Amino acid sequence: MERSTIVRVHEGLHARPATRFVKLAKAFESDVELVKDGKAVSAKSSVKLMLLAVKENQEVTVRANGADAIEAIEALIGYLENPKAGLDDDEAHAPANDAGKKAAPASQSAPAAPAEANGLRGVAASEGVAVGPAFAHFPPDIAGQGRMLQADEIAGEIDRFRAAVAAVQARMDRALAQDSLSAGERGIVAALRDIAADDSLTGEAEKAIKGGNDAVSAMITAASTIAADFSAVDDHYLNARADDVHAVGRQICLALLGQDDVSLENISQGAILIADDIGAWDLARAPLKRIGGVVCGHGGATSHIAIIARSHGIPAVLGLGDRINALRTAQEVALDGNTGQVIIDPDAATRADFASRVEAAAKERAGLAAFKTVTPKLADGKVIEVAANIGSLEEIEAAQEAGAMGVGLFRTELLFMRHMHLPSEDMQAETYAALAKAFAPYPVIVRTLDIGGDKPIAGIEFPDEENPFLGWRGIRMCLDRPDIFKRQLRALLRAAVHGNIKVMLPMVSDLGEVRQTRVLVDECAAELQAEGVPHATFDLGVMIETPAAVLIARALAKEVAFFSIGTNDLTQYIMAADRLNPTVAKLNDVTNPAVMSAIELTARAGVAAGIMVGMCGEAAGRPDLIPAFLEMGLTELSMSPASIQRAKKTITAMAAGE
Ligand code: PEP
Ligand code: MG
């Protein structure tokens, strides 16, 4: 019995989803296989499953044979189509991919650059700066016995090997039973435990033992073979799994030798951990609070080390390759996790520079942290909503950590650009619903697709345009493509059942655009009603980012529930200065009186009509401008999560008359 489907698991079946899929498959008695491009593998082996390299939006077939085949297919297809269903809250809100909580900055995916005069440069994997004593962690390589076994030794060696595997699994089970593990760490240890329990790895080792190799040599060879398979796949998530296979292999070898790995227990407060590679297993047990920074030969932005470092706020530079050997004897190391710079034994001036940057950052962080839970109010008691601008579910945690009072701008473009096809209504509904649930009861303002010829996406043919910024983009394109627009509106109506969803239209320059959208929203609601699909209404607002919208703000305010001022585009259109062109950057200035007047006109029109006026352009996070915006009557400011606490502080100080 078999059924095919399109995989909707974000970024495909890499470590964590593969582990979950295997767990589901193992709950059934039937033999279950997953088939892709004619290749079938057991759905009960996460290593085999990962090596099948199933990507999001690919077609696969689930094949089952046994008494509970129907139930198995139902459950596994269900997972592939709707991976978030049935997860507990922790898992559902964990980062959707292994890359961590926030999208990696562009620099993180950049290959390591060559050495520089003042040190080394690697992959900037976790932001922040650090300077401290070096803690070199280069555990000795493990070697096998290097002799062939006699035939009568083989059975005993296999028993010894199985006992070592069982001991490693039991140790990982004990780690998983600890309450202290975060959801992310638990996922990582669970993925390692799965590799340790997988017969792809242990079976390969047993084959080598049967061939006469001692267990340690057999394990080393098997780990290299399986790791090489992972390295050969054209997918950076799966490449990072090669390190996990080596880490598991090493633990099994140590158990065979009756040795403990070199411990990180003795690392001193604020030390910089230097290693060729740190297995996720070691790192998950390391005293993370004491580690000042991490520098590694292996690893990249998607490796477990990067994930753990980012989630604990530890600056990290990874991927130095063999150049890590230059740090083996370092006494002191300075690193910049934003740029990837590593300085060995910095001179006094460099050390002082790094130390003052570390101190300033810590002081600012500590001072601002108190504002996370503050609800900023003006002197008259009016609450100002300080919300987050985000573009993916991975950023939810960073926004919540910062104390965001909802989302003031969810840019939906990434959802469309990340995929090879236009995202389905179901996938969109699931994304928007996850967002609404995460922030309820605070509002989540989702901006409808804002894309034009400068950022083409698969599935939409854009014409060649002389000037795409003045062309077929945003609401203009959406209204011309109701097939795309209605799919998004239907998804938003469905998601509105799950929280406080509001919707805003980008690039509005004419009242007709709002009216036409309303007709489409009503049409979508009527369709969903007729289909019996649960849905709810939402507030409809507009972005004010064209001069035309400013000039018709009074009329617009009568037709919409809120304004959100997009100062990035508004500035470029008011000043006729391309926001991407450095030669006119001086003109592209939000503080120019022309732009500030446009903002004030908008605010006045909104306040007079009694609707909410907010701002989601970059200027919303500027402490020097926030007082002026609030005096104009704005009551919502949406910004990148990193600016939230500072903005709350500014508003609080303003209310106190400081
Ligand atoms: C803006 O234009 O101010 C805005 C928030 O939208 P974007 O930067 O996505 O164009
Ligand atoms: Mg804009």
* Mean pLDDT across 542-550: 98
Could you tell me the distance, in angstroms and rounded to a whole number, from the CA of residue 6 to the centre of ligand 2? 33
> Does ligand 1 come within 6 angstroms of the Cβ of 411?
yes
Could you tell me the distance, in angstroms and rounded to a whole number, from the CA of residue 387 to the centre of ligand 1? 15
Query: Which of 269-278, 425-434, 581-590 is least confident?
Result: 581-590
Enter the pTM of the model: 0.57
DSSP per position, 428-496? HHHHHHHHHHHHTTSEEEEEPP---TTS--TT--PPP-S-GGGSS-HHHHHHH-HHHHHHHHHHHHHHG
For residue 304, indicate whether it is catalytic: yes
Terminal Cα distance for the chain, rounded? 72
Report which of residues 197 and 302 the model is more confident about: 197
Residue 320's contacts (CB-CB under 8 Å, 6 or more residues apart) are: 112, 120, 122, 295, 296, 297, 327, 342
Nearest in space to 568 (alpha carbons), one of 517, 503, 635, 638: 638
Report which of residues 579 and 492 the model is more confident about: 492
Task: Categorize the per-residue pLDDT at 307 as very low, low, confident or very high, splitting at 50, 70 and 90.
Answer: low
Whether the pLDDT of residue 2 is over 70: the answer is yes
What residue's CA is closest to ligand 1, atom 4? 566
Edge to edge, what strands does the sheet with 129-137 contain? 120-121, 341-344, 332-336, 129-137, 271-275, 291-296, 316-318, 123-126
* Mean pLDDT across 101-114: 35
Whether the pLDDT of residue 282 is over 80: the answer is no
pLDDT at 371: 96
**pLDDT tens, position by position, 412-424:** 987 887 665 788 9
Query: Which of 22-26, 81-85, 452-456 is least confident?
Result: 452-456
pLDDT at 302: 52
* Mean pLDDT across 628-656: 93
For residues 461, 467, 470, 473, the Cα torsion angle rounded to the nearest 10 degrees is 20
Report which of residues 167 and 192 the model is more confident about: 167
Beta pairing class for 332-336 and 129-137: antiparallel
**pLDDT tens, position by position, 335-358:** 999 899 999 999 999 999 999 999
pLDDT at 36: 92
Whether the pLDDT of residue 118 is over 60: the answer is no
Catalytic member of 253, 296, 478, 616:
616
pLDDT at 582: 65
Catalytic member of 93, 304, 312, 535:
304
What residue's CA is closest to ligand 1, atom 9? 411
Angle between helices 304-311 and 236-257 (to 10 degrees): 90
Mutation pick for ligand 1 pocket among 409, 414, 616, 625 (CB with most ligand atoms within 8 Å): 616
Nearest in space to 136 (alpha carbons), one of 304, 296, 301, 282: 296
Mutation pick for ligand 1 pocket among 451, 454, 545, 622 (CB with most ligand atoms within 8 Å): 545
pLDDT at 295: 95
Could you tell me the distance, in angstroms and rounded to a whole number, from the CA of residue 506 to the centre of ligand 2? 7
C-alpha distances in Å from residue 471, one per residue of 79, 451, 454, 479, 543: 41, 10, 10, 14, 17
What span, in angstroms and rounded, lies between the C-alpha atoms of 249 and 540?
56
What residue's CA is closest to ligand 1, atom 1? 566
In the block, tokens 């240890």 appear at 189
* Mean pLDDT across 238-251: 84
For residue 419, indicate whether it is catalytic: no
> Does ligand 1 come within 6 angstroms of the Cβ of 567?
yes
Query: Which of 98-107, 135-144, 316-325, 390-399 is least confident?
Result: 98-107
- Taking the CB of residue 646, how many other CB atoms lie within 10 A of it? 19
